[in-house]
Amino acid sequence: MRFALAVLALVAPVAPSAHAQQAKTAPVTIEVVGAEPVRVRVAVGTTRPCDSDANKPLFNGVVKPGAAVSIPSDAICVCWEQTYAPFTTTGWSTPTVQCRPCSGLKKCIPRLDKPLRIVARSKE
């Protein structure tokens, strides 16, 4: 029993808290370039189209120009698509799969501390 408590005392201070891990994760951000709003659909996953059952929906909404949407997520890759002005409900773009930057020489290690930035354009 004493041995188990001693090991726990040594390990507990080293283990990062859930809050500390969450603080290290940068969000997925969405920006619109142009003069008119567009609808953007973002899903965690790499399957196209983005509304596939294999993906997990993350955001589906209209984003105004100049407004930035920030979504907390530890996703490594997302699938996203958008509409174009003046339509916000039809005419979806070709789906794009976008991933966080990597670090590492021989193996890609996703950089969760770097935001996954999506830039949608109001005109095609």
95 and 84 Cβ atoms separated by less than 8 Å = no
Show me where the domains of the chain are located.
Answer: 24-121
Residues of the chain with pLDDT > 70, as a percent, come to: 81
Q: Does the pLDDT value for residue 20 go beyond 80? A: no
Average pLDDT value for the chain:
85
> Exposed, middle or buried: residue 42 (CB in 10 Å: 0-12, 13-18, 19+)?
buried
Give the chain's count of helices (H) and strands (E). 2, 9
- pLDDT (mean) for 96-109: 92
Query: Which tens digits make up the pLDDT trace of 34-89?
Result: 999 999 999 999 999 999 999 999 999 999 999 999 999 999 999 999 999 999 99
One-letter amino acid for residue 73 of the chain = S
